[in-house]
Amino acid sequence: MIGQLNPEQLAAVTTNEQHTLVLAGAGSGKTKVLTTRMAWLIQNGKVSPYGVLAVTFTNKAAREMLTRLTAMLPVDTRGMWVGTFHGLCNRLLRAHYRDAGLPQNFQILDIADQLAAIKRLIKANDIDDEKFPPKDVQRFINNAKENGERPDTVEVWDAHRKRLAEIYQLYQEQCQREGVVDFAELLLRAYELLSRNVLVREHYQRRFRYILIDEFQDTNTLQYKWLCLLAGAHASLFAVGDDDQSIYAFRGANVGNMSAFERDYAGNNIIRLEQNYRSYGHILDAANALIEHNTERLGKNLWTDRGEGELLRVVEQPTDLLEAQWVVDEIRAQINDGRLRSEIAVLYRSNAQSRPIEHALFSAHIPYKVYGGLRFFERQEIKHVLAYLRLIASGDDDTSFMRVVNFPTRGIGARTLENLSDCARQIGCNLIHAVGAVSGRSGTKLLAFAKLIETLREDAQTLSLPELIKHVTDASGLNAHYEAEREGAERLENLGELINAATAFCAEENLEGKAALAQVERSVAPDDPDSPFAQELTSALALFLSHASLEAGDNQAQAGEDAIQLMTIHAAKGLEFDSVFITGVEEGLFPHENSIMAEDGLEEERRLMYVAITRAKERLTFSLAHARMLHGQTRYSMRSRFLEELPDDHLKWLTPRTREVAEPSWGMRLHVDAHARPSTGRIEPRAPRSISSGVSVSGKEYRIGQGVRHSRFGDGTIIRLTGQGADAQAEIVFRDTGAKTLALAVAKLDIIAG
């Protein structure tokens, strides 16, 4: 089991220190260490499977961990808590729903459900949705929750935020009334449960002797607090992560948790896994050199004994279409050389970039697979069925009610629903319970809908889950609706797929035995009425609904087909490919313009590039286009600064490297850019490249790198051009006043030397 480990991996797996921080570089065998440690702990009698808790961010990672573990050691995994933060918190809350103040059948809102609930709340309370756009409210609430804050503790420093906190309060009341929790609430509730209930807390603190955390750099503040609480004073914490691969700060991840963990727990017990088993030398050296430009690193340098390998290749093309064409031609050549299509990945910063590449691949008849986009359980038709199922399971869930009360259409319009909503508010009950209070013809229609749900609920008693789903799609009219729809064939197929999924789910549940699991829980908590543990076994329907919310399904379709892999760099994290194309390596796109101004934004972009580079095993190709169609207009950009940060001796230019022009104001650009770490003197100020693409406005020619003078802002350099003619705009970095975007037709600019 431990025979194949290198010394650092071995040290991590067998450490006897209470707490350990493992800095695991890309491709250094992170999952192997994590799973081997679990196996080692169990095999050596340090702990029984029952005392292990391992937490990951994705269901996929959790599954892989269990698979690898059982392959190593015949472990009874039923008593183990291995899962995502959200999955484990859900488990905790189901077991202690009373103490957590939740109904037993509470439903989980995904982001779309949550947004719908917020919109409904804003309407019901006559809140100005111009001042408080639902999306902003959603972000405010989720941010607050991820920091462990409730409406009464969240910081308010102005009237606007004060109002947001009030809306948060209203939202909380609405969720409570409807028996629903959002993703962030799962964590916060579980945290509050543990922190307030001594009995429950001590039980789990006693139980989980070993807590292992994967992708620790991605944890948010609340998750860290949750872990600390769960660990108590005696558990052993084993955190594995890579600060250089922290790319989710924008959604609340706090890399600072790594140094906090070092300070609070691990002390000097930090183990670095730096030997890389994935890539050749040039790739790793380039990645190391790039990430060196970041400050605030815990520090790490990847190395390999596989040899240097190929140089990294760079290609510049005039347009995004030609870039795509070049990439596809190159892909074809690589396939002809015998490379597997599924071992070739095309990565990009933003989803919109996939289009021209898809087009070129399609024209070339090369099979490809795009990752990202809608997932199975997020599809409209699936969410509709799930809404019916939720109403059957709970009934209080107004979001689900609103979703399907008039779908398929039953002549229940907006007016009727407004009436209903008013009635419900007056009575102080949920929508479905207020249907009797609405008079007239519309009231009859509402009653018919309520009766439908009631009948379905009775039917649910006697039907198996797959049978129930089939029955619901028939009785609700969903099937008929999609049969009549011109393009409903695919939706019908998905409904069939949902029934398959339910069948598989039930089979798996019976096999693995969620029931058996509940038995295990119960053996710990004897059947006394004061036990904080839930006594009832949960129904297949309830389990399936949780499953659907917490696991939206794979983002990839049919695996196994040998196809080119297209995805964002974020989606590529954790994956590896023989040959990788990193496309659109342009200023403004990568690093993205929005992140350049954000705090630490540039460092996160650089980590993103680091992640991208370290995906490649054998061959890595960068490509960029000088002109690109974006948001309906052509944008001209220059080569990404990240390419300048890669040492020349790892690069091979397949097209002529565009000319570099001495440009005094370029130095100022770096000065303006505080993230470029001028203190080390590492970065040599480089001039922007002049490119052929220019813009002509009222007789003047503008191009990237052009020096200009503005009467008010002074001298500066054009770093980007967008649009044509009257719409043409230039982003200009002024020596003294920073970056500005100006309309060329309006701004009075003089062309100066450059």
Partner DNA sequence: TTACTAAGACTTTTT
Partner DNA sequence: GTCTTAGTAA
Name which of 22 and 608 has its Cβ closer to DNA: 608
Q: How far is the CB of 323 from DNA (least distance, A)?
A: 16
In angstroms, rounded to a whole number, what is the distance separating the alpha carbons of residues 254 and 225? Answer: 12
The secondary structure of residue 266, as a DSSP letter, is I
| Per-residue b or e along 623-662, where b marks 16 or more CB atoms closer than 10 Å to that residue's CB | bbbbbbebeeebbbbbbbbbbebbeeebbeeeeeebeeee
Active site residue 285: no
Instruction: Give the other-Cβ count within 10 Å of 68's Cβ.
Output: 17
Q: How far is the CB of 467 from DNA (least distance, A)?
A: 27
Phi, psi of 429, deg, nearest 5: -135, 180
Catalytic residue among 214, 218, 509, 603: 214
Q: Which residues pair with 275 in a beta bridge?
A: 303
The answer to whether 332 and 366 are in contact (CB under 8 A) is: yes
Largest Cα span, the chain: 88
In angstroms, rounded to a whole number, what is the distance separating the alpha carbons of residues 168 and 171? Answer: 5
Name which of 476 and 665 has its Cβ closer to DNA: 476
Q: Residue 401: is it exposed, middle or buried by C-beta count within 10 angstroms (0-12/13-18/19+)?
A: buried
Q: How far is the CB of 418 from DNA (least distance, A)?
A: 11
Active site residue 215: yes
Name which of 5 and 347 has its Cβ closer to DNA: 347
Dump the DSSP string for 500-541: HHHHHHHHHIIIIIHHHHHHHHHHHS-S-TT-SS--SPPPHH
Active site residue 214: yes
Name which of 607 and 735 has its Cβ closer to DNA: 607
From its phi and psi, is residue 513 left (phi > 0), alpha (psi between -120 and 50) or beta? left
Name which of 624 and 687 has its Cβ closer to DNA: 624
Name which of 86 and 626 has its Cβ closer to DNA: 86
Phi, psi of 275, deg, nearest 5: -80, 125
Q: Is 583 annotated among the ligand-binding residues?
A: no
Which two structure tokens, joined as six digits, stand for 432? 């479905």
Catalytic residue among 31, 70, 169, 221: 31
Active site residue 31: yes
Catalytic residue among 145, 445, 606, 615: 615
For the chain, the straight-line distance linking the first and the last C-alpha, in angstroms and rounded, comes to 64
Nearest to 628 by CA among 619, 618, 636: 636
Q: Is 28 annotated among the ligand-binding residues?
A: yes
């944890």: which residue's tokens?
219
In angstroms, rounded to a whole number, what is the distance separating the alpha carbons of residues 314 and 621? Answer: 6
Catalytic residue among 215, 285, 587, 593: 215
Catalytic residue among 8, 9, 20, 30: 30
| Per-residue b or e along 549-573, where b marks 16 or more CB atoms closer than 10 Å to that residue's CB | bbbbbebeeeeeeebbbbbbbbbbb
Q: How far is the CB of 414 from DNA (least distance, A)?
A: 6
Name which of 8 and 110 has its Cβ closer to DNA: 110
Q: How far is the CB of 46 from DNA (least distance, A)?
A: 28
Catalytic residue among 35, 56, 219, 245: 245
Q: How far is the CB of 295 from DNA (least distance, A)?
A: 20
| Helix H or strand E segment including 287 | helix 281-291
Q: How far is the CB of 345 from DNA (least distance, A)?
A: 14
Q: Is 135 annotated among the ligand-binding residues?
A: no
Q: How many alpha carbons fall within 13 Å on the CB side of residue 65?
A: 29
Name which of 5 and 585 has its Cβ closer to DNA: 585
Q: How far is the CB of 281 from DNA (least distance, A)?
A: 28
**Helix and strand element counts for the chain (H, E):** 28, 23
Nearest to 20 by CA among 85, 219, 10, 29: 10
The verdict on whether omega for the bond into residue 367 sits within 30 degrees of 0, i.e. cis, is no
Q: Is 24 annotated among the ligand-binding residues?
A: yes
Q: Is 31 annotated among the ligand-binding residues?
A: yes
Which two structure tokens, joined as six digits, stand for 53? 């808790």
Name which of 285 and 551 has its Cβ closer to DNA: 551
Q: Is 29 annotated among the ligand-binding residues?
A: yes
Tell me the torsion sign for CA atoms 192, 193, 197, 200.
Answer: negative
Interface with DNA (CB under 7 A): 57-60, 84, 86-87, 110-111, 119, 135, 183, 215, 218, 247-248, 250-251, 253, 349-352, 355, 372, 406, 409-416, 550-552, 555, 568, 570-571, 592, 594-595, 598, 601, 608, 629, 631-632
Q: How far is the CB of 253 from DNA (least distance, A)?
A: 5
- What pairing do the DSSP bridges indicate for beta strands 707-710 and 714-722? antiparallel
Instruction: Give the other-Cβ count within 10 Å of 484's Cβ.
Output: 10
Name which of 1 and 112 has its Cβ closer to DNA: 112
Q: How far is the CB of 680 from DNA (least distance, A)?
A: 25
**Which residues does 492 contact at the CB level (< 8 Å), separation at least 6?**
479, 482, 483
Active site residue 615: yes
- What pairing do the DSSP bridges indicate for beta strands 107-109 and 81-84? unpaired
* Residue ranges at the known binding site: 24-31
* Residue ranges at the known binding site for ATP: 24-31
Show which residues are catalytic: 30-31, 214-215, 245, 615
